[in-house]
Amino acid sequence: MGGIDWASGRGARPMVVVDEEAKRVDEPPPHGKIGMSTAWRITDGVPGRAMEYRKRALHKGAAIGVHPIDHDEVYAVVSGEGEVVSDGVTARLKPGMTAYLYTGAQVGIRQIGEDPLVLVISYPITVK
């Protein structure tokens, strides 16, 4: 099983279970503070993590402003609709769609329509 004994869990750290509601905060979105959002910093505080995993609801008219990224990143849409931009190229996203964004790109995403845009954002980080 790839170096892990399934029955005992040997070879791996114990898992961490996170209560999302304990990580919930209402705040303006990053990179420009355009509108309001609800953020769930799900993996904050997970010891030794190598990735960031977050959920964010962009309220009506809100956006994560265009900014450079120094790692690959994904925006996976859970509900609502939005427009993602990467180096000036724009695409419309709806539930069930994911944008894969590459290192070095200038990226951002904005909510469109009547419903909040809820997305999961994930990217690698330096092990803490």
Tell me the pLDDT tens digit for each residue of 9-58: 566 778 899 999 999 999 999 999 999 999 999 999 999 899 999 999 99
Going along the chain from its start, the domains and CATH numbers come out as 25-124 (2.60.120.10)
CB 31 within 8 A of CB 109: no
Name the burial class of residue 30, with classes exposed (0-12), middle (13-18) and buried (19+) by CB atoms within 10 angstroms of its CB: middle
For residue 82, the tally of other CB atoms under 10 A from its CB is 25
Q: What predicted TM-score, i.e. pTM, was given to this entire model?
A: 0.88
* pLDDT of 65: 98
Query: Beta 51-58 vs 63-68: how paired, if at all?
Result: unpaired
Cα 7 to Cα 37: distance, rounded to the nearest angstrom: 41
Tell me the pLDDT tens digit for each residue of 14-23: 889 999 999 9
Enter the tokens of residue 47.
């010891």
